[in-house]
């Protein structure tokens, strides 16, 4: 099969690796002239690791991460440091935190030479059901290329998704998030997780080298104008419990950035149209409140690679086999991702209740919720295995 992937984010690259290892000819189109992944951390849970294992990337991933986050107390705290809720240890035992740029690097390194075409815009030509792709190179040259399958992994603002009937568009969550990574190791004093205030949250997690990935979240208008992002973070969180002030002290203000938090306004009716499929945020953009966005994109990649593994090496696969694989991908991934997206948004709404009385009630409910119940909810999201490969099996990962 000749397969085009639009977008060189984590989901697109992971898909390219899996399909190449299954025998497909893969081209990844990326409109950016150079790859510059956003410099923040990423929580990868057991379901994301299972996806990476399926794609043959598990050992490379483990080499750049550690399980040190699992050794810390986790849950939610108040700004004064008092605990609202503890997560049971088994809910975080499989968690690994990685710098997004480092994960991106191992994905790129796993690709065959010549797979990635930077500075290239790729879009549907004539109509969105044709697998003809209009390719515009960085020099402005335009041409048509034909593929057996096109995977749109072009992110939350997916141009492909917007061209389909039924695109619900995006909705703003009501809050935006700052993210940063400390310049040097900082002692987390035995605990990580999130701290919840009124319309404010702060989260922290350690990287392998002891540096700390952190994020601050605040209720605000989507188009809020802030002259000095770092100074605003200091103003909001600088007097919260230790080690939050130390984390901010250890962060270069130049690396701090803010993003509005959006998700899809409604679940998509399908992730597939003819021989085009949506993957990652283009299919199921969700708020980061469960830490599952990238994990679900990697699940998408592992699922598609497994379902196509029996025909990927065929230069002229029968259309009925392609249809069967893509229909199953659409069914499995909508069934899996859309409830998670709903839960993520509900959790974000709970964290950002606007009134003082609402915060008091929320905190009381959290203190009374058994840790076992919270662990069960976490396990429901983190427990996942890819479908069995259909015929040809990709090279096994060596751990």
Q: How confident is the model at residue 344 (pLDDT cuts 50, 70, 90)?
A: very high
In a domain, 205, yes or no: yes
Asked if 97 contacts 188 with a C-beta cutoff of 8 angstroms, the reply is: no
- Which among 326, 346, 219 has a CA at the least distance from the CA of 283? 326
In a domain, 65, yes or no: yes
Q: How confident is the model at residue 129 (pLDDT cuts 50, 70, 90)?
A: low
Cα–Cα distance for residue pair 25/322, rounded to 1 Å: 15
Q: How confident is the model at residue 142 (pLDDT cuts 50, 70, 90)?
A: confident
pLDDT of amino acid 38: 67
Asked if 173 contacts 261 with a C-beta cutoff of 8 angstroms, the reply is: yes
Cα–Cα distance for residue pair 160/156, rounded to 1 Å: 10
Is the pLDDT at 398 greater than 80? The verdict is: no
In a domain, 395, yes or no: no
Q: 203 forms bridges with which residues in the sheet?
A: 194, 215
Q: How confident is the model at residue 70 (pLDDT cuts 50, 70, 90)?
A: confident
In a domain, 210, yes or no: yes
Tens of pLDDT, residue by residue over 240-297, are: 999 999 999 999 999 999 999 999 999 999 999 999 999 999 999 999 999 999 999 9
In a domain, 399, yes or no: no
Q: 3 forms bridges with which residues in the sheet?
A: 26, 149
The stretch 153-180 carries a mean pLDDT of 95
Asked if 268 contacts 330 with a C-beta cutoff of 8 angstroms, the reply is: no
Is the pLDDT at 153 greater than 50? The verdict is: yes
Poorest-confidence range of 7-11, 29-33, 264-268, 293-297? Answer: 29-33
CATH (domain of 269): 3.50.50.60
Percent of the chain whose pLDDT exceeds 90? 83
In a domain, 394, yes or no: no
- What is the residue-averaged pLDDT of the chain? 93
Rounded to 10 degrees, the C-alpha dihedral 107/395/381/287 comes to 20
In a domain, 326, yes or no: yes
In a domain, 388, yes or no: no
| Boundaries of domain holding 332 | 2-382
The stretch 220-227 carries a mean pLDDT of 96
- Which among 41, 37, 87, 15 has a CA at the least distance from the CA of 381? 87
Domain count, the chain: 1
Is the pLDDT at 33 greater than 90? The verdict is: no
pLDDT of amino acid 124: 75
Q: 99 forms bridges with which residues in the sheet?
A: 41
Percent of the chain whose pLDDT exceeds 70? 95
pLDDT of amino acid 397: 45
Tens of pLDDT, residue by residue over 100-127, are: 999 999 999 999 999 999 998 888 765 6
Is the pLDDT at 327 greater than 80? The verdict is: yes
Q: Which two tokens stand for residue 189?
A: 């004093």
């Amino acid at each position: 099969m000749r397969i085009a992937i639009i977008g060189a984010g984590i989901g697109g690259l992971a898909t390219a690796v899996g399909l190449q290892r299954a025998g497909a000819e893969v081209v990844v189109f990326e409109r950016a002239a150079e790859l510059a992944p956003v410099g923040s951390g990423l929580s990868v849970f057991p379901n994301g690791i299972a996806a990476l294992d399926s794609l043959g990337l598990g050992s490379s991933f483990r080499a750049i991460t550690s399980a040190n986050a699992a050794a810390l107390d986790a849950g939610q705290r108040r700004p004064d440091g008092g605990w609202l809720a503890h997560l049971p240890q088994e809910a975080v035992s499989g968690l690994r935190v990685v710098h997004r740029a480092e994960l991106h690097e191992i994905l790129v390194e796993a690709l065959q030479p010549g797979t990635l075409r930077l500075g290239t815009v790729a879009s549907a030509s004539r109509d969105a059901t044709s697998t003809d792709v209009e390719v515009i190179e960085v020099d402005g040259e335009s041409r048509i290329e034909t593929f057996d399958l096109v995977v749109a992994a072009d992110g939350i603002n997916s141009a492909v998704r917007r061209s389909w009937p039924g695109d619900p568009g995006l909705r703003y969550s009501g809050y935006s998030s700052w993210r940063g990574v400390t310049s040097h190791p900082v002692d987390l004093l035995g605990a990580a997780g999130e701290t919840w205030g009124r319309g404010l949250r702060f989260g922290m997690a350690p990287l392998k080298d002891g540096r700390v990935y952190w994020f601050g979240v605040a209720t605000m208008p989507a188009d809020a104008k802030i002259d000095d992002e770092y100074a605003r973070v200091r103003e909001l969180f600088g007097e919260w419990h230790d080690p939050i002030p130390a984390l901010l002290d250890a962060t270069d203000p130049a690396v701090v950035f803010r993003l509005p938090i959006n998700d899809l306004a409604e679940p998509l009716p399908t992730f597939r149209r003819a021989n085009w499929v949506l993957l990652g945020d283009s299919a199921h953009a969700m708020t980061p409140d469960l830490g599952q966005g990238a994990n679900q994109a990697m699940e998408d990649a592992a699922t598609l690679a497994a379902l196509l593994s029996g025909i990927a090496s065929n230069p002229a696969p029968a259309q009925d086999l392609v249809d069967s694989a893509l229909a199953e991908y659409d069914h499995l991934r909508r069934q899996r991702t859309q409830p998670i997206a709903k839960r993520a948004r509900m959790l974000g709404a709970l964290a950002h209740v606007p009134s003082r009385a609402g915060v008091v009630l929320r905190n009381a409910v959290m203190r009374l919720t058994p840790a076992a119940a919270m662990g069960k909810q976490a396990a429901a999201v983190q427990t996942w295995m890819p479908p069995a490969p259909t015929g040809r099996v990709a090279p096994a990962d060596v751990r």
